[in-house]
Structures are given as structure tokens and as C-alpha cells.
């Protein structure tokens, strides 16, 4: 579907409630640039090829793959598209750094993540019950290593387009948005979505603050003149600044919930996650994989509280426990 002159939106199916990834296509260099090819499945690959055919293009016409971030539903098909077309793959350097351990030693990287979750209170039987497709992830990445890494500030040219690369860390360390200044269009990836909020995950990298990064990245988009936002899920929208303010309020409310939970005394991240109002339901009803994701999102907020001085953390009997910093109650604004 042509959503703006020369810009096509493709719906690439994926498992789960979101149903599909919205990929974007625009002409360049006698072919096309494809943004976020989609989930690694035969169904997704066939759907992508069929939609290209509908607009008079083919997989072999893809000259460049721009990946907004390294998550499976965005990067997953890059290998098959690259093999079919020889397209150049562009990925932000911070996302490439984040996935390199899974390329170099996938099993070791998984074991490290399991130890990390255990130290934050997740029961070991729950951790071990979750299948981790480390080898699948490694194979996808190894077959589509980035040909060029981005840093933010680059311009990606197309026929009638000049997309500015804006580094927007938070949902992933190397997430990027693409901004067309003259047409006032924004390809927002998962950074800003019209209804849901993107998952934020703390995975133990020293000094990292994914929630803080995310909030700063949102602020960086506010001054932009944007007529239409084209996200990677749900639907296009035109109220960027208003939506950003809604998301900021959402995370403020979540931080307050966690401070309220800690008012009763020190808790692990797993304990705190039980006190959060999750949009998708009660933490106790989640399967083990979703509970792990919820704990990592809880950690993103708790660690942001540590960075801002509202929360303290200490290692006690092999577990990290969080507590209110002295005099911190009620200070989140």
C-alpha cells in the first residue's frame, strides 16, 4: 500500500497479538530500500514477496536493508532477503555490539542471562523452563551481518527522499528512527507507537539506563515538525508530541507504583514485578517467558531509580534487593 508518494507500507505477518510488522519501502539506486524486513518465517517471507510483486517489485530489486533495531521481528528476515538480493544491511553500531556475544558464544550468553535473572529473584525452575533459541538467533545474525553500522546523523538517500537517521536508544541500545524533514514524515520503528508502549529491558550491562535513554530519546523527537508518524506496529498517526507526553506519563506512573511497593521494605525485581499494573494482565498469570520480560522491564525502571537517586540496591545472600533511598519517597515528578 502506498501511504505517501513513493513510500510503501508492507504488512509482514508475525506470531503473537501484534500480528504483523509494518515494513517500509521506497525507491533508490534503480531498486528499493526496505526498512525492517520482518519475522524469520516462511509465511513472512512469502507475504513480503507477494506484496512486493503487487507494487511491481521483486526481492532481487532490494538494494539496501535498513534495520531500525535488532529484535527478531525486525531483523529476522534480513538474512533471506540479503541472500535473494545481495542487499546492503545497515544496523546501528550499539545494536551490533549488543548481539555480538550471541554470535561469538550463544550458549555462554544465554547462561549469563540466566544467572543474571536468578540474582534478581527469578526462580531457577522458571528460568530453565523457557526455551531460548540462541542458535536460531546466531544463525539469523551470522547470515546477515551488517555491511555498514550507523551512529546517527547519517542521511539515507532515496528517489525523492532524504531520510535522516536519528539514534533513539531505549527499546534497544541501537534503535533508530528515520526522519524526512521536507515531507515531515517519521518512520518511528518501535520507539513511538500509537497505542502500546515498547518493551524496555535492563540486561545487566554496567552503566546502562534503558529507561533514561528512552525518555531522553523521546524528548529529542519533540521539536521535530512531523505531519505523519509511520510506526512498525499498529497504524500511522499524526499526534507525535501528544503521544510522547502520554508515554512519559505512563512511565512516571509505573515508577510511582514501584516506589510504593518498595515502601514496605527491600524487594527483588521479581518481587516488585508482582506489584506492577501490567497492561497485558496479572503477573501471576503470565507464562514464564512473559514473566522474564516483565522482570527485565521492572529492572529498567528500578535501575533508572538508582541512577536518579530514588532507589538503592545491594547484594544480599546472592540476590539483588532494591529499597527506597533515604528521603526518596514521593520525589518522582
Give domain status of residue 113, yes or no.
no
Residues 96 and 194 reside in one and the same domain: yes
Residues 103 and 165 reside in one and the same domain: yes
Domain end residue (candidates: 217, 245, 273): 245
Residues 40 and 142 reside in one and the same domain: yes
Could you give the CA distance from residue 269 to residue 282 in angstroms, rounded to a whole number? 16
Give domain status of residue 72, yes or no.
yes
Residues 273 and 234 reside in one and the same domain: no
Over pLDDT 90: what percentage of the chain?
A: 82
Give domain status of residue 9, yes or no.
yes
Q: For residue 331, name the pLDDT band (cuts at 50, 70, 90).
A: low
pLDDT for 134 beyond 70: no
The pLDDT value given to residue 328: 62
Q: 323 forms bridges with which residues in the sheet?
A: 312
Q: For residue 125, name the pLDDT band (cuts at 50, 70, 90).
A: confident
Give domain status of residue 332, yes or no.
no
- The domain of 308 spans 262-324
pTM of this structure: 0.95
Q: Which residue has the cell 515531515?
A: 184
Residues 217 and 99 reside in one and the same domain: yes
CB contact at 8 A, 21 and 232: yes
Domain at 177, CATH number:
3.60.15.10
The pLDDT value given to residue 101: 82
Q: What is the mean pLDDT of residues 245-270?
A: 97
Amino acid at each position: 500500500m502506498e501511504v505517501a508518494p513513493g513510500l510503501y507500507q508492507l504488512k509482514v505477518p508475525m506470531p503473537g497479538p501484534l500480528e504483523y510488522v509494518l515494513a517500509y519501502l521506497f525507491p533508490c539506486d534503480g531498486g528499493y530500500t526496505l526498512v525492517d524486513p520482518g519475522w524469520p518465517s516462511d509465511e513472512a517471507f512469502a507475504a513480503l514477496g507477494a506484496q512486493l510483486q503487487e507494487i511491481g517489485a521483486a526481492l532481487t530489486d532490494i538494494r539496501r536493508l535498513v534495520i531500525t533495531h535488532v529484535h527478531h521481528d525486525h531483523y529476522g528476515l534480513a538474512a533471506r532477503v540479503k541472500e535473494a538480493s545481495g542487499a546492503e544491511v545497515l544496523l546501528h553500531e550499539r545494536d551490533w555490539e549488543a548481539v555480538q556475544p550471541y554470535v561469538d558464544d550463544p550458549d555462554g550468553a544465554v547462561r549469563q542471562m540466566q544467572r543474571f535473572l536468578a540474582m534478581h529473584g527469578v526462580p531457577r525452575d522458571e528460568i530453565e523452563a523457557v526455551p531460548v533459541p540462541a542458535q536460531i538467533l546466531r544463525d539469523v545474525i551470522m547470515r546477515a551481518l551488517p555491511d555498514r553500522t550507523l551512529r546517527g546523523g547519517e542521511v539515507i538517500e532515496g528517489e525523492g527522499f532524504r531520510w535522516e537517521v536519528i539514534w533513539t536508544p531505549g527499546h534497544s541500545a541501537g534503535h533508530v528512527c528515520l526522519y524526512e524533514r521536507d515531507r515531515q514524515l517519521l518512520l518511528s520503528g518501535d520507539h513511538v507507537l500509537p497505542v502500546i508502549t515498547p518493551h524496555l529491558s535492563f540486561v545487566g550491562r554496567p552503566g546502562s539506563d534503558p529507561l533514561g535513554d528512552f525518555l531522553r530519546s523521546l524528548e529529542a523527537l519533540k521539536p521535530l515538525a512531523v505531519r505523519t508518524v509511520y510506526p512498525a506496529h499498529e497504524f500511522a498517526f499524526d499526534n507525535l508530541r501528544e503521544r510522547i507526553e502520554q508515554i512519559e506519563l505512563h512511565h512516571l506512573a509505573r515508577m510511582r507504583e514501584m516506589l510504593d511497593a518498595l515502601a514496605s521494605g527491600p524487594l527483588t525485581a521479581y518481587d516488585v514485578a508482582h506489584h506492577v499494573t501490567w497492561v497485558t494482565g496479572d503477573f501471576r498469570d503470565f507464562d514464564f517467558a512473559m514473566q522474564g520480560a516483565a522482570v527485565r522491564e521492572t529492572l529498567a525502571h528500578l535501575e533508572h531509580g538508582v541512577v536518579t537517586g530514588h532507589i538503592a540496591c545491594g547484594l544480599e545472600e546472592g540476590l539483588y534487593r532494591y529499597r527506597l533511598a533515604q528521603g526518596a519517597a514521593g520525589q518522582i515528578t
